[in-house]
Amino acid sequence: MRPLRSTLLGFQPPAIGEEEIAAVTETLRSGWLTTGPRAALLEERMAAFLETDHVLAVASGTAALHLALLAVGVGPGDEVITSPITWPATANVIEHCGATPVFCDVRDTDLNIDPALVPALVTERTKAVLPVHFAGQVADLDPIIALGLPVVEDAAHAAESAYRGRKVGGISDASCFSLYATKNIAAGEGGLVATNRDDVAEAIRNMRLTRRGDGSHYDQVTAGFKANLSDVLAAIALVQLDRVEEHARIRQRQFDLYDEGLAGLAGITPLVRDPRDVHALHLYVVRIDADGAGADRDAYQRGLADELIGTSIHFLPVHGLTWFRERYPGQEPLPVAERAGAEVLSLPLSPAHSDDDILDAIDAVRRLHERFSA
């Protein structure tokens, strides 16, 4: 076993280098602080990367989801079917549209929405389905799209994912990405909407700023939002886009180390990755079954913190959080999601980490397993 760490291993620090710093400095000197040429270039380059017709840069992944739902017609009184294994923003934006989130249970293998359960949740009020690509594994989209409803993907974890040979970004009505600090393409904040639908793209262009036009000759065509992306953040994202392949190789190496190092530990199981798809390798999530592992997820998380290994939980089921639990007291149980919410633990993963960092995390898990299983 490796010696204990003397410094904290952060869970998912961004991999920022001198190139990003230089890009921000150049942008500041250019005089463009708000939306300008770099945001436009990011849209152009991301459209090529995602193999889609349109990419719209916005202020956050949450804004991307909100505007995309509005663009496909979600409004007051509607219902949107979504996954409970996600960050609350996925459900919050449905509420912001005046609609109701309808939570569908997930598959036990990858914790993505279970497409076999979606049809039974469709009613005359269902306006859209919002699947989440959890941890970088694409949800099973074809049976969801076959329902004939608008589909808006929460692709915050999936900037590099592909589904059955098709890149995420050009499959459904809209795919929404995040540029948050922990994401594979990290700008600190920001989001993107990718779509092949001209009408969806035009609607989002009109909504992300409250005015259109040049200089003082402007007009307003809809009740819009302040949801545009600044050039400063776009400059960081452009450099990160240049480094996508390099960073993907590092994350693949880290996944391989975890797969090998954690193999055979009873009660500690990584999520299934479908070999038919391209996984974005955004999170390395294990499920900890107390019966096999000797202790529950929370005990392992505390133990790892004591060894200066940072972790996170992705995710606590949204329907069980206080606001949603009290707002929808009649929510049917979602047993797969609820069990997963008590078991999932995300281990350190970042291109900023070295192999030794990941090996430290593995050894710490193995030490705890030996102690808890004794």
Q: How many CB atoms within 10 Å of residue 111? A: 29
Rounded CA gap, 93 and 89, in Å?
Answer: 6
Residue 183 bears catalytic tag: yes
Determine phi and psi for 136, rounding to 5 degrees.
115, -10
Nearest CA to 270 out of 278, 262, 282 is that of 262
Catalytic residue among 127, 167, 183, 226: 183
* Side-chain half-sphere exposure of 20, counting CA atoms within 13 A: 17
**H-helix segments, 18-97:** 18-30, 37-50, 61-71, 89-96
Nearest CA to 104 out of 127, 129, 87 is that of 129
305: Cβ–Cβ under 8 A, 6 or more apart, which residues?
311
Amino acid at 349: L
Nearest CA to 241 out of 63, 49, 26 is that of 49
Pairing of strands 344-347, 284-288: antiparallel
User: Treating both helix axes as pointing N-terminal to C-terminal, what angle do 198-208 and 61-71 enclose, rounded to 10 degrees?
Assistant: 120
Chain mean position to CA 335: 23
Which residues are known catalytic residues? 183
